[in-house]
């Protein structure tokens, strides 16, 4: 199948190594196209994280550390932007009152130490679901979001492209190879185990390397498009 295209776009070095082991060598590491939504090849102005209101994203999965991540978000009343149906808890309606399905809580977030009512309150007041990027962007201006973090790659990417400093919490090889190749600020999920306050994560959110490499990464992505005969609208000087 690899012979049917000039090059295969892959997200990072780990995927490239896997293809090498299979004898496939016509690939180009490009990262993720969502990194390059600005057609002028200029990264938005991104400031330093400050205390205020925060966005959190969490990838579904049976993990104690992801439970810790949710607890951190609940403790500091972070806006939890959900990106898949599996993140939306099934609920029961009993006499007109919303009741969270306990089995979902135990399965999705093992060891979550809080009452069902507290989860419902957090879910009602701080969870968000968006179906277009314009509505999502309004969250940042309306609520004056000053920092974003979490395990969702694209959740952080939306924040970054809106000028919000975002920190990727890497939880698997996919997100790790993406953040490495794209020079995005990141920390491993295990660091959340000893994090009591969101402000402790600020020191890891440095965009110096991202800004340094962004133009070259854009040109690399454009090279991938052009070598495969794909028309584009990029205009990079």
Condensed to tens digits (0 to 9), the pLDDT of residues 54-91 reads: 999 998 776 888 889 989 999 999 999 998 877 766 55
Q: What is the largest CA-CA distance in the chain?
A: 63
Structural domain contains residue 45: no
Predicted local distance difference test score (pLDDT) of residue 93: 45
User: 116, 99 in Cβ contact below 8 A?
Assistant: yes
Are residues 147 and 181 both part of a single domain?
yes
pLDDT score recorded for residue 92: 47
Which CATH number goes with the domain that contains 168? 3.40.50
**Overall size of the chain counted in residues:** 237
Q: State pLDDT tens for residues 180-209.
A: 999 999 999 999 999 999 999 999 999 999
Could you tell me which of 59, 75, 69, 76 has the C-alpha nearest to residue 114?
75
DSSP 140-187: HHHTTEEEEEES-HHHHHHHHHTT--EEEEE-SHHHHHHHHHHT--EE
Rounded CA gap, 42 and 50, in Å?
Answer: 23
Same domain, 130 and 163: yes
Neighbours of 209 (CB within 10 A): 12
Residues 40, 235 contacting (CB under 8 angstroms): yes
CB 27 within 8 A of CB 19: yes
Q: Are 55 and 139 in contact (CB under 8 A)?
A: yes
**123 and 95: one domain?**
yes
Which residues span the domain enclosing 13? 2-40+215-227
The pTM of this model reads 0.90
Higher pLDDT, 16 or 109: 16
129 and 148 inside one domain: yes
Q: Give residue 4's pLDDT.
A: 84
With respect to residue 235, please indicate whether it lies within any of the assigned structural domains: no
Same domain, 102 and 12: no
Task: Verify that 67 and 34 share a domain, yes or no.
Answer: no
Instruction: Determine what percent of the chain is predicted with pLDDT higher than 90.
Output: 71
Inside any domain, residue 233: no
pLDDT digits (tens, 9 = 90+) for 21-50: 999 999 999 999 999 998 888 999 999 999
Domains contained in the chain, number? 2
């Amino acid at each position: 199948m690899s012979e049917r295209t000039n090059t295969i776009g892959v997200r990072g070095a780990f995927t490239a190594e896997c293809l090498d082991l299979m004898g496939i060598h016509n690939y180009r590491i490009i990262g993720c196209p969502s990194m390059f939504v600005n057609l002028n090849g200029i990264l938005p102005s991104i400031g330093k994280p400050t205390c205020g209101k925060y966005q959190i994203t969490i990838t579904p999965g049976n993990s104690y550390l992801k439970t810790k991540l949710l607890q951190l978000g609940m403790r500091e009343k972070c806006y939890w932007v959900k990106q898949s149906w599996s993140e939306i808890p099934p609920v029961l309606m009993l006499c007109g009152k919303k009741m969270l399905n306990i089995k979902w809580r135990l399965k999705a977030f093992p060891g979550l130490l809080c009452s069902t009512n507290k989860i419902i309150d957090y879910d009602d007041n701080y969870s968000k679901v968006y179906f277009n990027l314009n509505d999502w962007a309004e969250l940042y201006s309306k609520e004056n979001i000053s920092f974003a973090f979490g395990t969702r790659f694209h959740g952080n990417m939306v924040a970054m492209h809106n000028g919000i400093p975002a920190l990727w919490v890497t939880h698997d090889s996919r997100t790790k190879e993406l953040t490495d190749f794209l020079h995005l600020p990141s920390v491993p999920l295990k660091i959340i185990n000893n994090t009591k306050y969101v402000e402790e994560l600020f020191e890891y959110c440095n965009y110096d390397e991202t800004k340094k490499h962004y133009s070259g990464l854009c040109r690399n992505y454009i090279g991938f498009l052009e070598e495969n005969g794909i028309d584009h609208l990029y205009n990079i000087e």
